[in-house]
Chains A and B, each alone.
Chain A
Amino acid sequence: MCVATSKPKFQNEELRNLSLSGHVGFDSLPDQLVNKSTSQGFCFNILCVGETGIGKSTLMDTLFNTKFESDPATHNEPGVRLKARSYELQESNVRLKLTIVDTVGFGDQINKDDSYKPIVEYIDAQFEAYLQEELKIKRSLFNYHDTRIHACLYFIAPTGHSLKSLDLVTMKKLDSKVNIIPIIAKADTIAKNELHKFKSKIMSELVSNGVQIYQFPTDEETVAEINATMSVHLPFAVVGSTEEVKIGNKMAKARQYPWGVVQVENENHCDFVKLREMLIRVNMEDLREQTHTRHYELYRRCKLEEMGFKDTDPDSKPFSLQETYEAKRNEFLGELQKKEEEMRQMFVMRVKEKEAELKEAEKELHEKFDLLKRTHQEEKKKVEDKKKELEEEVNNFQKKKAAAQLLQSQAQQSGAQQTKKDKDKKKRWFCSR
């Protein structure tokens, strides 16, 4: 059995290399690892960024040999929004949970300043969800459905000239968050000689603007060669098609034009096969690993630093995360208490003020009441006086009336007597005549 190469010292113990004298059997460890992963299934999430109508959905259909149901988007979306759809694919014993995220409405607005924002927010949200899960006390990471974006396919419009400024801005914002693979869409509209110039123009623009696209790994002997040869053809010029056309005596995916047939899987016609090789067959695992070890770690570091956690304090003695958290928590609690105090004081003050106001009002009311009472008394007195007068008058009147009546009755009597006397007189006169 072969002896292993020496490894760096592990702590203070000697690392000895042993020679085995028989078959132990741990060479099945990689298989065990693979078995475990197979039973769990794989997650792969692709983000497709590109203008409406550039062929994102068709390309996805062609790549995975399936018809993912989707309706083509309209051109009058008010803003960019992301639509994620998940599918479960199975090939032999490998189960793949594929999530395809589409940017709907990208490049359709008149003002495209904020086009990149929803995309960046979406990517960050997935990182945030994973970070939250990782920071939980009781967590279950091994059956967490990983939604972080592993690869971003950026669809470049086949103008033949150069990158649009929207493309540059968007790619620059995304390159530190996700693995970008630029591709030229609808490549059957570009002639061969133009294509070469177009590709080199794009690559030089990317380099001069400092956009970091995904580098196919070349450190592994098994894949270094193929990755190196493929990298030369970046960005891949692809054609997507789900329709089949009869070529020779077999059916192949192709697009039929009056002037000829563009075969999707023909390497002379387009780079679709290269894209498929690179994306799925060779580097899928590396894409996932890069996302986890580079982009996610960067996000995590920034987020934690933002929250105020540090690894070492000014005395260069390392902090512990819990401790910083403790300190923050106490600080927060202290603030909370202070606020509570403030609120309480304000409340007390307000209550006092209100009380004073109310007292004032009460006093006023009392005064008014007194005034009213007095007025009332006076009025009453007046009225009483008047009443007395009236009564007096009435009495006088009654007296007068009584007197008058008496007089009248006397007068009547005497009148009656007088009348009688008159009458008698008259009678006697008459008689005397």
Chain B
Amino acid sequence: MDPTRRSPSPCSSRTPSPRTPPCGEMLGYVGIEAVLDQLKIKAMKMGFEFNIMVVGQSGLGKSTMVNTLFKSKVWKSTPPGLGGPTPQTLKLQSVTHVIEEKGVKLKLTVTDTPGFGDQINNDKCWDPILGYINEQYERYLQEEILITRRRHIPDTRVHCCVYFVPPTGHCLRPLDIEFLQRLCQAVNVVPVIARADSLTLEERETFRRRIQHNLRTHCIDVYPQKCFDEDVNDKILNSKIRDRIPFAVVGADREHLVNGRCVLGRKTKWGIIEAVENMTHCEFPLHERPADPSHLQDLKDITHNVHYENYRVFRLNQSHVLPRGPGWVNLAPVPASSPVIPRSSKVPGRVQEDSEEKF
């Protein structure tokens, strides 16, 4: 990890103190920076949570991808029963694991969406997914507004949604565009080109440019969002990442011998595609940095400070039509499709303080 790299966060750094404070020059060492260690110890003791959702048609390598990402058998990658009937509705499946690395405990929840885009008529196939995302926000909100709250509210909100684009080589399909448009307003979306080993490098580049163009035309704001760049450093780093979106990934969970090294890869008749180590074969390491470990905290922050707050505003404004909800497990019917939330509230630093309406 690059220690000098600061994770971009949407929170603005300082607010002016109530009075003009004199900047004290301290004449000696006080020990304030020990608070950082205290923070670290506390964080490690509590553990971290991260929820990731993978969306894409079946056969694009979602489960394999997740296994590769977390270097463990998160999912058994099962081929869908080809002879059996495809499920009529989209059923989301979640699996939770606790993984530990160097004393840091991470509770990882992966939600899969089997059957997405598999039907003949895929109209409104995003509704169950949006419903699931909103349901998690609702859960958190219900916990937050209790009178006697828990010390630590369990966070099941989806922090990152990885969208697998099939490698057609042309451009985004209408289904992709529809889905991405709706989802970007509710959750952090990271699009990836799935099964990138079926595209040559040039094809990959053209495909990528076209997708970027599509995204811009339809105003789809994927992670890292431009509006949250805090300073010049962030802009530079993030624009480098944005240049490479969507990342082309190859998932592999078998190990092969290449040049005497044992690497994860896919073996074909014409060569071995190295899934992780080799940058030209698969953009996994680059993908790894922005979408995963270094940016985990940032993803969580944006989810908490932006998406969740948007949901909360919408929900509280709607409270007068809320039917009685008997507890937080049996929720009142949440609108399946997420409402078109005004984009103006997306940037947290510029949230208007005019509505002082208390709920």
In the bound complex, do residue B35 and residue A26 qualify as a contact, i.e. CB atoms below 8 Å apart? no
In the bound complex, do residue A32 and residue B42 qualify as a contact, i.e. CB atoms below 8 Å apart? no
Partner of A97, one of B17, B40, B142, B298: B17
In the bound complex, do residue B30 and residue A142 qualify as a contact, i.e. CB atoms below 8 Å apart? no
Give the residue among B48, B50, B71 with the most A Cβ atoms within 10 A: B71
When A220-B41, A323-B322 are in contact, do A26 and B359 touch as well, CB less than 8 Å? no
Chain B 299-343, CB within 8 Å of chain A: the 1/0 string?
Answer: 001000100010011001101101011111000000000000000
The verdict on B292 contacting chain A, using a C-beta distance below 8 Å, is yes
Taking the nearest CB of chain B, how far is it from the CB of A77, in angstroms? 21
Query: What is the interface residue range for chain B against chain A?
Result: 35 or more
In the bound complex, do residue B147 and residue A310 qualify as a contact, i.e. CB atoms below 8 Å apart? yes
When A20-B101, A85-B19, A97-B17 are in contact, do A289 and B42 touch as well, CB less than 8 Å? yes
> Which candidate, B7-15, B54-62, B189-197, is the interface stretch facing chain A?
B7-15
In the bound complex, do residue A63 and residue B292 qualify as a contact, i.e. CB atoms below 8 Å apart? no
In the bound complex, do residue A322 and residue B11 qualify as a contact, i.e. CB atoms below 8 Å apart? no
Chain A 308-327, CB within 8 Å of chain B: the 1/0 string?
Answer: 01110000011011110110
**What is the CA–CA distance of A136 and B352 in the complex, to the nearest angstrom?**
12
Nearest-CB residue, chain B, relative to A42: B35
List residues of A (66-86) whose CB comes within 8 Å of B's CBs. Answer: 66-69, 84-86
In the bound complex, do residue B72 and residue A18 qualify as a contact, i.e. CB atoms below 8 Å apart? yes
Chain A 1-22, CB within 8 Å of chain B: the 1/0 string?
Answer: 1111011001001111111111
The verdict on B145 contacting chain A, using a C-beta distance below 8 Å, is yes
Q: In the assembled complex, which residues on chain B have CB atoms less than 8 Å from the CB atom of A325?
A: 319, 359
In the bound complex, do residue A3 and residue B14 qualify as a contact, i.e. CB atoms below 8 Å apart? no
In the bound complex, do residue B34 and residue A281 qualify as a contact, i.e. CB atoms below 8 Å apart? yes
The verdict on A88 contacting chain B, using a C-beta distance below 8 Å, is yes
Q: In the assembled complex, which residues on chain B have CB atoms less than 8 Å from the CB atom of A321?
A: 145-147, 359
The verdict on B73 contacting chain A, using a C-beta distance below 8 Å, is yes
The verdict on B218 contacting chain A, using a C-beta distance below 8 Å, is no
Q: In the assembled complex, which residues on chain A have CB atoms less than 8 Å from the CB atom of B356?
A: 136
> Which candidate, B81-89, B104-112, B165-173, B220-228, is the interface stretch facing chain A?
B104-112
**What is the CA–CA distance of A282 and B35 in the complex, to the nearest angstrom?**
7
Q: In the assembled complex, which residues on chain B have CB atoms less than 8 Å from the CB atom of A145?
A: 15, 17-18
> Which candidate, B20-28, B124-132, B207-215, B236-244, is the interface stretch facing chain A?
B20-28
Q: In the assembled complex, which residues on chain A have CB atoms less than 8 Å from the CB atom of B94?
A: 13
Chain B 28-59, CB within 8 Å of chain A: the 1/0 string?
Answer: 11111111101111111100101000000000
The verdict on B297 contacting chain A, using a C-beta distance below 8 Å, is yes
In the bound complex, do residue A86 and residue B17 qualify as a contact, i.e. CB atoms below 8 Å apart? yes
Q: In the assembled complex, which residues on chain A have CB atoms less than 8 Å from the CB atom of B80?
A: none
In the bound complex, do residue B351 and residue A138 qualify as a contact, i.e. CB atoms below 8 Å apart? yes
Q: In the assembled complex, which residues on chain B have CB atoms less than 8 Å from the CB atom of A3?
A: 100
In the bound complex, do residue A88 and residue B100 qualify as a contact, i.e. CB atoms below 8 Å apart? no
The verdict on B355 contacting chain A, using a C-beta distance below 8 Å, is yes
> Which candidate, A33-41, A51-59, A193-201, A340-348, is the interface stretch facing chain B?
A33-41
In the bound complex, do residue B322 and residue A15 qualify as a contact, i.e. CB atoms below 8 Å apart? no
**What is the CA–CA distance of A222 and B186 in the complex, to the nearest angstrom?**
40
**What is the CA–CA distance of A1 and B105 in the complex, to the nearest angstrom?**
12
When A137-B313, A140-B351, A220-B45 are in contact, do A94 and B294 touch as well, CB less than 8 Å? no
**What is the CA–CA distance of A197 and B19 in the complex, to the nearest angstrom?**
43
In the bound complex, do residue B100 and residue A1 qualify as a contact, i.e. CB atoms below 8 Å apart? yes
Taking the nearest CB of chain B, how far is it from the CB of A294, in angstroms? 9
Q: In the assembled complex, which residues on chain B have CB atoms less than 8 Å from the CB atom of A39?
A: 6, 9, 11, 13
When A4-B105, A86-B18 are in contact, do A285 and B13 touch as well, CB less than 8 Å? no
The verdict on B269 contacting chain A, using a C-beta distance below 8 Å, is no
In the bound complex, do residue A304 and residue B147 qualify as a contact, i.e. CB atoms below 8 Å apart? yes
The verdict on B296 contacting chain A, using a C-beta distance below 8 Å, is yes
In the bound complex, do residue A10 and residue B32 qualify as a contact, i.e. CB atoms below 8 Å apart? no
Give the residue among B45, B96, B298 with the most A Cβ atoms within 10 A: B96
In the bound complex, do residue A142 and residue B345 qualify as a contact, i.e. CB atoms below 8 Å apart? no
In the bound complex, do residue A136 and residue B148 qualify as a contact, i.e. CB atoms below 8 Å apart? no
The verdict on B288 contacting chain A, using a C-beta distance below 8 Å, is yes
**What is the CA–CA distance of A94 and B15 in the complex, to the nearest angstrom?**
15
The verdict on A89 contacting chain B, using a C-beta distance below 8 Å, is yes
Nearest-CB residue, chain A, relative to B68: A22
Number of interface residues of A (CB under 8 A): 101
Q: In the assembled complex, which residues on chain A have CB atoms less than 8 Å from the CB atom of B325?
A: 318, 320, 323
In the bound complex, do residue A322 and residue B316 qualify as a contact, i.e. CB atoms below 8 Å apart? yes
Q: In the assembled complex, which residues on chain A have CB atoms less than 8 Å from the CB atom of B96?
A: 10, 13-16
Q: In the assembled complex, which residues on chain A have CB atoms less than 8 Å from the CB atom of B101?
A: 1, 20, 23-27
Taking the nearest CB of chain A, how far is it from the CB of B344, in angstroms? 11
In the bound complex, do residue A318 and residue B95 qualify as a contact, i.e. CB atoms below 8 Å apart? no
**What is the CA–CA distance of A330 and B18 in the complex, to the nearest angstrom?**
38
Q: In the assembled complex, which residues on chain B have CB atoms less than 8 Å from the CB atom of A360?
A: none
Partner of B349, one of A135, A143, A284: A143
In the bound complex, do residue B31 and residue A276 qualify as a contact, i.e. CB atoms below 8 Å apart? yes
When A24-B293, A318-B327 are in contact, do A10 and B145 touch as well, CB less than 8 Å? no
Q: In the assembled complex, which residues on chain B have CB atoms less than 8 Å from the CB atom of A1?
A: 100-101
The verdict on A111 contacting chain B, using a C-beta distance below 8 Å, is no
Q: In the assembled complex, which residues on chain B have CB atoms less than 8 Å from the CB atom of A87?
A: 21-24
Nearest-CB residue, chain B, relative to A135: B358
**What is the CA–CA distance of A79 and B199 in the complex, to the nearest angstrom?**
80
Nearest-CB residue, chain B, relative to A91: B32
Q: In the assembled complex, which residues on chain B have CB atoms less than 8 Å from the CB atom of A143?
A: 11-12, 15, 348-349
Q: In the assembled complex, which residues on chain B have CB atoms less than 8 Å from the CB atom of A281?
A: 31, 34
Q: In the assembled complex, which residues on chain A have CB atoms less than 8 Å from the CB atom of B50?
A: 26
Nearest-CB residue, chain A, relative to B70: A24
**What is the CA–CA distance of A145 and B12 in the complex, to the nearest angstrom?**
12
In the bound complex, do residue A20 and residue B43 qualify as a contact, i.e. CB atoms below 8 Å apart? no
Q: In the assembled complex, which residues on chain B have CB atoms less than 8 Å from the CB atom of A15?
A: 96-98, 107
**What is the CA–CA distance of A136 and B349 in the complex, to the nearest angstrom?**
16
Chain A 250-263, CB within 8 Å of chain B: the 1/0 string?
Answer: 00000000000000
- Other than A35-B7, A137-B358, give 12 A-B pairs with Cβ distance below 8 A: A2-B100, A18-B97, A20-B71, A35-B6, A38-B36, A86-B21, A137-B316, A138-B345, A140-B349, A143-B11, A284-B32, A321-B147
A contact set with B: CB distance below 8 Å: 1-4, 6-7, 10, 13-42, 63-69, 84-97, 99, 132, 135-140, 142-145, 147, 220, 222-223, 276-277, 280-286, 289, 293, 297, 300-301, 304-305, 309-311, 317-318, 320-323, 325-326
A-B contact pairs, 13 of them (CB 8 A): A13-B96, A20-B71, A22-B71, A26-B99, A29-B106, A33-B297, A66-B25, A87-B22, A91-B31, A138-B313, A138-B352, A145-B18, A322-B322
